[in-house]
Amino acid sequence: MDPLRSPGSSDHGGAGRSTSPHEQATGAGASRRWTRADTARTALALAVAVALLGGAAALHGSAAHGADAGFSLLLGAALGIVCERGRFCFYCIFRDLFEDRNSHGAYAVLTALAVGALGYTVVLAMFVPDPSSGTLPPGAHIGPVTWTTLVAAIAFGLGVVLSGGCIGGHLYRLGEGSVRALPALAGAAVGFGLGFASWNPLYLAGLSSAPSPWLPQLFGYGGSLALTLAVLAVAAVALLRRLPDRAARSASPVTLAEVGRTVFARRWPPLLTGATVGIIVVVAYLRVEPLGVTRQLGSATRTVLDGTGLLPATLHGLDGFAGCATVVAEVVLANGWLILGVVAGSFAAALPGRRFRIERLTGSGTVSAVMGGLLLGWGAMTAIGCTFGVLLSGVSAFALSGWVFAAGLLLALWAGFRLGLHRN
């Protein structure tokens, strides 16, 4: 058995506190000698990288897949690499915070939001020079704010705890060999169907008349950026008391082996991880659409249900909302290529650091994954996005809906971990 692996050592499955492939590989095993197996894993990772580049080039010249397909594939690969190497997983980050009182990973989220807000300020000012004009920036993830937004966020947060990850987390964990991600994503697809079934009553009960507050209309770009950074700074200071003491690591000689361990084995620092995710959030909006990982999954569900009688004949107002709104489509959307890139990029990043491992799936783990997935899908459909869409892209775009979603998500994560739902 590979010393980096241990029975039942999944970040998402089984009872009690467990360790992830990330936590195992960044420990003592990270300093082990290079082996032939490492060479084979690295060669395979390079082959995946070459395939991604070749696939992006082929998609770029294909009119059938759209002009943004190739770029979305590469953008998704970059996101998958960063999430895998930096352990940018909302389940992992907030389990560490609420269960272990360790805020180390939470700084990645705060940094991503800060960098995203800075970048969005520049981009939004190009699209809408005068925010007080009443015009919203095109396609930005600025959603309605009503009680359904909060309820959807709470449902989504409970789904994160039960299933062992958010939808984006399951996608990058799939690249690490997480079998549990499959029933969770299948449950999410069914959850989207339940969301479509409940959409019209919820729309008529509040969504139809709900405002979509955009902070720059009230405070301008400068005031909105200052307010956002101030809130993030207060959160950062408050989390300092939960930042674990880390003994200063003795300086290591700069050798090829040490560089390799830093790049491929050790977990990337949260500030680097968050800053890179924030840049990807900005680039995605500037080049394609607001970053999100649920549009393809929801659209595939809607397409399958279309014409079966299981989908309402009319989904009132749904297609008028920005963000990760679903469509009936027979082709892979740009978001679908982004998702494929996330999985492939994560797989390529996990291989050299010995973090790819087919995890053992238990019966209880499968049930909780499906149940959590149902909540993930319903919450994402009702909120028109998830942690990457509504939270990261929404807060970066100065949408109040992003902060409301964040509040409901944090409440649900805190309650879920306190109740031990992740141990079921």
**Neighbour-count burial of 64, counting CB atoms closer than 10 A to its CB (0-12 exposed, 13-18 middle, 19+ buried):** exposed
Coil/strand/helix, residue 204? helix
Span between the terminal Cα atoms of the chain, in Å: 28
**Sequence-separated (6 or more) residues with CB below 8 Å from residue 378:** 152, 155, 159, 191, 192, 194, 195, 198
Give just the sign of the alpha carbon dihedral 118, 122, 127, 131: positive
Rounded to 5 degrees, what are φ and ψ at 399?
A: -90, 130
Q: What pLDDT score was predicted for residue 38?
A: 85
Q: How far apart are CA 400 and CA 397, in angstroms?
A: 9
Neighbours of 19 (CB within 10 A): 15
Q: What pLDDT score was predicted for residue 270?
A: 95
Q: What pLDDT score was predicted for residue 153?
A: 97
Q: What pLDDT score was predicted for residue 372?
A: 97
**Helix, strand and coil in the chain, % to nearest 5:** 65, 0, 35
pTM: 0.89
Neighbours of 77 (CB within 10 A): 28
Q: How far apart are CA 164 and CA 91, in angstroms?
A: 6
What number of helices (H) and strands (E) belong to the chain? 16, 0
And the tokens for 327?
């469509």
pLDDT string in tens for the chain (424-residue length): 333 333 333 444 443 444 555 555 444 444 567 788 888 999 999 999 999 999 999 998 777 777 889 999 999 999 999 999 999 999 999 999 999 999 999 999 999 999 999 999 999 999 999 999 989 999 899 999 999 999 999 999 999 999 999 999 999 999 999 999 999 999 999 999 999 999 999 999 888 889 999 999 999 999 999 999 999 999 999 999 988 876 545 556 666 666 667 777 788 999 999 999 999 999 999 999 999 999 888 888 888 888 788 888 888 888 777 777 777 776 788 889 999 999 999 999 999 988 999 988 889 999 999 999 999 999 999 999 999 999 999 999 999 999 999 999 999 999 999 999 988 6
**Sequence-separated (6 or more) residues with CB below 8 Å from residue 138:** 127
**Sequence-separated (6 or more) residues with CB below 8 Å from residue 232:** 110, 113, 114
Q: What pLDDT score was predicted for residue 11?
A: 46
Residue found under tokens 């087919």: 358
Q: How far apart are CA 297 and CA 216, in angstroms?
A: 31
**C-alpha distance from residue 373 to each of 159, 163, 219 (Å):** 6, 6, 38
